[in-house]
Amino acid sequence: MARQTVPGETAERRTLPAEDPAAQPVDVDAPPERRVEVHEPDRGRGAVLGEVIPEFVVLAGVVYLFFLAGDFSSRQQPGQLGPAFWPRLVAAGLAVALLVRIVQVLRERKQPVVRVVSEFDDIEDDDTEVHWPSAAVAMGLAFGYVVGTMFLGYMFATMAFLGAFSWAGGQRRWVAPVVAVAGGMVMTYVFVGVVYVSVPTGVGLFDTVTVAVYRLLGIQ
């Protein structure tokens, strides 16, 4: 059916009401706008050397220790990795890490530094109060651990240290002594049976029990 129009009359043009910008919904979960600061790094020779000289000094010491560990090869027994293997492996890994760090420092000097400004930048950091009794207990445990290895042996001293440190840290459940004993035996096996490091076995009864545990673990 054809659409009919009335002569002399036109259709009324209707428009949608304009939306009030103030009535627009606000997303409360939208992240706030972040302001960034971009500044050029100090590319002076002194600034670059100040960052890489410590790495080069440590790298020289690592290289010296790597070759010094080669003297341990004379005590290597057939069928074993030898006492020089692990020190050299650690030295090589540390040397690679230092070289990577030096390359990173040199590359960062060629790029601008971009920093995101936080709303907490204007808040001054409050000085954290040191709990000196807890610090004294931790230092006492560390000193006692070193002295205890000479009398109790490495295995029993490690067990006692792990247990006392867990107790001082507030972990006083039944699992803490179990973890201390297991941790002492695992660390002893790693150092004596895997890394071939000679550790103290203690005196008297502690020496006898430690040697018996070594034989039980098959590391002596």
Going by C-alpha positions, the residue among 186, 196, 176 that lies closest to residue 155 is 186
Q: Please report, in tens digits, the pLDDT of each residue of the chain (220 residues total).
A: 555 555 555 555 555 555 555 555 555 555 556 676 666 666 666 777 777 888 888 888 888 888 887 665 555 555 566 666 777 778 888 889 989 988 888 877 766 666 666 655 555 555 667 677 888 888 888 888 988 888 898 999 999 998 888 888 888 888 888 999 999 999 888 888 877 777 888 888 998 999 898 888 887 6
Amino acid at the residue 24: Q
Q: Which residue has the tokens 């459940």?
A: 173
Cα–Cα distances (Å) from 5 to 8, 12, 96, in that order, read 9, 13, 88
Distance, in Å, from the CA atom of 204 to the CA atom of 211, rounded to the nearest integer, reads 11
Q: How far apart are CA 149 and CA 168, in angstroms?
A: 20
The pTM (predicted TM-score) of the whole model is: 0.50
- 83 Cβ partners below 8 Å, 6+ apart? 72, 75, 76, 196, 197
Q: Where are the chain's structural domains?
A: 36-117, 141-217
Amino acid occupying residue 141:
L
- Check: CB of residue 63 under 8 Å from CB of residue 74: no
Pairwise CA distance, residues 17 & 9, whole Å: 24
Instruction: Name which of 183, 179, 202, 180 is nearest 191 in CA terms.
Output: 183
